[in-house]
Structure 1
């Protein structure tokens, strides 16, 4: 699947994957009360884990994110480990979970993957084919983790609304993205900023812009960004700010510096200006559903920049031979 096809396929994939996940959830008993849950991943899956952890804590689960590479060097840190890998072949995640001796749950798209062999329980996403720069697998992973967290915490959101909202966002974001693409293409660096559940959007957004368009990017947590990292910003930079709180003021400040800024927000009271473009998202049914909607305009921007640069976004120049395992 090509990158552009993956973007447009997400509404249908989200609907199909949600049904498969909801059918499988009854087999996964909640952790014992007070259990500490480690969310383990690398790359895009690590970005997912960083957003899932605070959302799950808000639901009453004692969850935190730990990079698979860090867990390789750590002793026991949790009572339950959730390994996240769309392919099920991420070498670091598999190796980290292989050394764990307590309950291990795997979240993957492939039931015959190496990850499936090392965990005690499996939650299959059944999200189908994905593009080399993740689209369908990434958004389906966010949805799966949202559904799992609600199942384990005994809460419920209307996830059936998400595919329709995703379709709407893709349609509404395309002209907005095209209106800023030329200016972002000229930027010497693109900062992507967000906090809380939007941490995943900042991390994955910066990653996919590097992968798809080979853009120079950096990902920042909102409040950390205020403590020095924004010092190099000027009118040669561009910035994507994702959020509804301090992010709105930040977006205005950045545009005031002449930095071309795209604010992705649910706020409808923010006025654009010469350097500030505002993309207003619909209200999501849950926090993690919101992160699915947030990534869609960034995917569209990645594709637009890639096309402008004559790139197909269909693979990587620098393939590594030790990050994916055989087995499926």
Structure 2
């Protein structure tokens, strides 16, 4: 997989997601993946952004009556004891995450399936089956890699559940629309948002993937301390620490009232919703087209990408100027070249 800048990832994302959807559909139609489609108790494992993405297939499968769960790969490095599963799906965009590789080496009693972007890779070599996204170029602070993973995981979950519909036709046009809307909504609040001391990212259901990815990108790109919370848990005390904080809220239900409560109290809030909600003095709104859960997560993430690149410019932090290189997180260590490709040109912002 070749590296591109964060901005290039944003610009090429509509076409890349169309390619990923077509590539994964073709693989899932092949007889070689019949065993994957027959999964009855799938267990999804990942680390970092890959773990965040797993909220999507779990939600899709449970909605179709299929018991599914996600777990950090590090929790099963010693094996699957205590987990009732027939298929372990390990997600790693580059196929080199050391924790997921260790989990596959320790897995016994379940078929292993790798879901990744890069082939060949160490994880693919360990897996009995693999679904790949076609070696799409990605930025180090992931753009296409994360959203493409959501596409792949939803199509896999749909195949396991026996779902008839395919929600990914036309995703490119939706991405372009939401990116434009997000830029317009963020422009009035970006200067204030850049001075906040922390950010809370709140969502429910499949959109928990968006909240978790948002918290990660806010830390990685503009270096704002951030945390992700489930909506109902956030209401039970977590929101009490609001103060010079940015609140990023995803959803159409209780999330709308939450966003209004926060903004009415003077706290800067960005609501990402499919509902027609008017913005306010402390409330920005990104309006999404009506879609099913998984495409919605992609569109929510597109809005987040627009936010973090704007805040990176405001805070004068070059995108992808990473500070820490942990050699034990990737099989074979960290490639110094990954850190050489940043996005110092912030004139797009």
Query: Do the structures match in fold with TM over 0.5?
Result: yes
Q: Does 1:217 align with 2:226?
A: yes
Say which of 234, 250, 263 aligns to 1:255.
263
Alignment of 1:1-328 (within 5 A): 1-26=4-29, 27-29=32-34, 35-73=40-78, 75-76=80-81, 77=83, 78-101=85-108, 102-155=110-163, 156-234=165-243, 236-268=244-276, 270-284=277-291, 286-326=292-332
CA distance in 2, matches of 1:158, 1:49: 18
CA distance in 2, matches of 1:201, 1:262: 13
Unaligned runs of 5+ in 2: 336-349
DSSP 3-state at the match of 1:126: coil
Any idea what the Cα deviations from partners look like across 1:30-52, whole Å, max 9, x if unmatched?
55878211010000000011232
Please report how far the alpha carbon of residue 206 of structure 1 lies from its aligned counterpart in structure 2 after TM superposition: 0.7
Please report how far the alpha carbon of residue 14 of structure 1 lies from its aligned counterpart in structure 2 after TM superposition: 0.2
**Is the 1:86–1:108 contact (alpha carbons within 8 Å) kept by the matching residues of 2?**
yes
- Number of residue pairs matched by the alignment: 325
DSSP 3-state at the match of 2:224: coil
CA-based RMSD of the aligned residues comes to 1.7
**Is the 2:37–2:160 contact (alpha carbons within 8 Å) kept by the matching residues of 1?**
no
**Is the 2:95–2:121 contact (alpha carbons within 8 Å) kept by the matching residues of 1?**
yes
CA distance in 1, matches of 2:91, 2:132: 11
Unaligned runs of 5+ in 1: none
Normalising by structure 2, we get a TM-score of 0.89
Normalising by structure 1, we get a TM-score of 0.95
Any idea what the Cα deviations from partners look like across 1:178-232, whole Å, max 9, x if unmatched?
2221111111111111110110111000100110011121111111101111111
Please report how far the alpha carbon of residue 167 of structure 1 lies from its aligned counterpart in structure 2 after TM superposition: 1.3
CA distance in 1, matches of 2:250, 2:215: 12
Any idea what the Cα deviations from partners look like across 1:97-131, whole Å, max 9, x if unmatched?
11112201110111210000111000011151110
